[in-house]
Amino acid sequence: MPTAEKTLDEILTLAAAHFKVPREKLSPDDDFFKTLGIDSLQALDLLTKLENHFRVELPDYELQGVTDFRTLAGKIQIRL
């Protein structure tokens, strides 16, 4: 199982690539809706990418209120 830090780093890398923003512009505690400029449908698109990458299933209701990469990583980490 990857470490929590590695999971977080992979999420940041995936998000940067998917939404075509420089990786260095993303930080763990960023509000990803604001930093990436995305809406809820795009957030679900990111969730699909993350589920496919980590081979986990994360019910989207667990993302209610989640806005930063670090918390998102924690939600994924407990399902790895």
Partner 1 sequence: MNAGISRKGEAMSVEYKDGLIELALHRDPCNEIGSQSLEELESFSESLQSLKQPAHALVIHSDLKCGFCAGADLRELYERSHAMVKDEAAKGVRDFLERIHRVLNVIDAAPMTTIAAVHGVTFGGGFELALACDLIIADKTARFAFPELRLGLIPGFGGIPRLKRDIGNAVVRDLLLTGRSFNTTKAQQIGLVSQVVAEGEALRAARATAAQLAKFDHQTAVTAKQFIKPVPYEELKREIDIFCDLFSRPAVQAGLKKFVQSTDAQPYLP
Contact residues for partner 1 (CB under 8 A)?
Answer: 33, 38-41, 43-45, 47-48, 51-52, 57, 59-61, 63-64
Residue with smaller CB distance to partner 1, 24 or 55? 55
Output b/e per residue, 19-42; b: 16+ Cβ within 10 A.
beeeeeebeeebebeebbebeeee
How near is the Cβ of 44 to partner 1 at its closest, in Å? 6
**How far apart are CB 10 and partner 1 at their closest, in Å?**
17
Smallest distance from the beta carbon of 59 to partner 1, in angstroms?
5
The amino acid that residue 68 corresponds to is: D
Q: Give whichever of 8 and 43 is closer to partner 1, judged by the CB atom.
A: 43
Is the distance from CB of 7 to CB of 56 less than 8 angstroms? no
The answer to whether residues 67 and 35 touch, using CB atoms and an 8 Å cutoff, is no
Residue number with CB closer to partner 1 (19 or 33): 33
Task: Compute the distance between CA of residue 80 and CA of residue 45 in angstroms, rounded to an integer.
Answer: 20
